[in-house]
């Protein structure tokens, strides 16, 4: 059973996001990972300070939570984030098996502030050939060897 959202966790994410901007450390995004009513980890956007385009608040919070819990899944955890997750962070939430997401600002709010999340949502709805970023499959048969090794491996850890 999913717990009721706790606005105090979201207020903490909003405070962290604002502090991140005021301090000059990064963008206006922050997130908390919560399990069983307690904060497991916090994360802020460090894209510009670490030169890492994947260092969004949600991703940094997930990385910290996985380290704290010594696991690669966050099943049973909730994500509280200052803004609706971008497509990358939303996908990471699914991969991590986050149980619920609670957010403050919307993607429309992010667009109003100059962030291009809305464009990303538009792009991923398109067929691959119609996207602005060209992508073409090469060496499909050769690349299958990695999957064949995975299928045959007695040491794999399913995820």
Which residues are tagged catalytic? 58
Is there a contact between 12 and 43 (Cβ–Cβ < 8 Å)? no
Nearest Cα neighbor of 10 from 65, 61, 68 is: 61
> What is the CB neighbour count within 10 angstroms for residue 60?
24
Q: Identify how many contiguous H helices and E strands the chain contains and give both numbers.
A: 7, 4
Q: Which two tokens stand for residue 124?
A: 């991923």
In whole angstroms, give the CA distance from residue 101 to residue 156: 30
Measured CA to CA, the distance from residue 67 to residue 63 in angstroms comes to 6
């Amino acid at each position: 059973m999913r717990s009721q959202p706790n606005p105090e966790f979201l207020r903490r994410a909003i405070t962290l996001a604002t502090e991140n901007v005021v301090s000059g450390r990064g963008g206006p995004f922050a997130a908390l990972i919560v399990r069983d009513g307690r904060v497991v980890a916090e994360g802020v956007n460090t894209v510009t300070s670490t030169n890492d385009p994947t260092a969004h608040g949600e991703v940094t919070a997930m990385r910290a939570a996985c380290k704290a819990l010594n696991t690669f899944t966050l099943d049973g955890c909730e994500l509280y984030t200052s803004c609706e997750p971008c497509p990358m962070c939303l996908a990471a939430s699914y991969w991590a098996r986050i149980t619920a997401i609670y957010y403050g600002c919307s993607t429309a709010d992010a667009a109003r502030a100059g962030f291009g999340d809305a464009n990303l949502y538009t792009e991923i709805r398109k067929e691959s050939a119609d996207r602005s970023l060209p992508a073409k499959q090469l060496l499909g048969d050769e690349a299958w060897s990695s999957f064949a090794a995975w299928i045959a491996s007695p040491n794999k850890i399913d995820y």
